[in-house]
Amino acid sequence: MIYVYAIAEREEAPLVASGLGGAPVERVTAGSLAALVSREPVASVEPSERALWEHEAVVEEMMDAGPVLPMRFGSTVRDEGSLRDVLRTHSDEFARALDRVRGRVEMGLRAIGEPAGTPSPAPAASGRGYLLEKLERRQAAARTADAIDPAFAELAVASSHRLLPSEGVVFTAAYLVDRSHIDEFERRAEHVDVEREDIELVPSGPWPPYNFTRHDDA
């Protein structure tokens, strides 16, 4: 079985020394594309914190060399021939997606707190009350996200949002930005964090473009 970290342009795919569990990393190429892989002797991969960082380290090293499309953690393919087939079959969409992320990185925002004006979640008296409360929370979260988004969207070529992704989080967002905008993105996040008293706004990144692996992602 072959473990796949990411897809890159053949010319830009770097040599990376080690990946999951210290396994050697190899390149499998087809046409103008290359995938970075490890030959994985086990049937499945444990998503430990360490393994996640090992996957991430390979992708980040690739990202420093050129545009990259990170695979989801745990992506495996039967053999090299199957992987080459995948690269050939999807070569156009991969090429377009790589073009779009060229010179760009993904930056994250996480707004920690409760949606403005809504009480902390409490058991509602009725099913209808529960649904109304849920709707209000969602609308409040959307207002917060809409108020914060423009300052970051204007730095980005694409973005994606999730409202109320987990308890205590108003929204998370990902932005695809030129590398030259990383500092400004962080400055704006700090500014909003200081300005807003209802939430903590925590930026993260630069990340490989996990949220922007398809050329038509928002």
Q: Which is nearer to other proteins, 155 or 201 (CB)?
A: 201
Q: Which is nearer to other proteins, 42 or 132 (CB)?
A: 42
Q: Which is nearer to other proteins, 122 or 125 (CB)?
A: 122
Q: How many CB atoms lie within 10 A of CB 22?
A: 9
Angle at 179 between CA 6 and CA 108, to 5 degrees: 70
Distance CA 212, CA 216 (A): 8
Give the interface with other proteins as residue ranges (CB under 8 A). 1, 4, 6-7, 43-47, 49, 52-53, 55-56, 69-77, 82, 85-86, 89-90, 108, 110, 112-113, 165-169, 172, 193-194, 199-200, 202, 204, 207, 210-211, 213
Closest approach of Cβ 2 to other proteins, in Å? 10
Residues with Cβ within 8 Å of 175's Cβ and at least 6 positions away in sequence, in order, are 106, 107, 108, 109, 152, 153, 155, 156, 158, 159, 185
Closest approach of Cβ 128 to other proteins, in Å? 28
Closest approach of Cβ 125 to other proteins, in Å? 25
Distance CA 10, CA 40 (A): 22
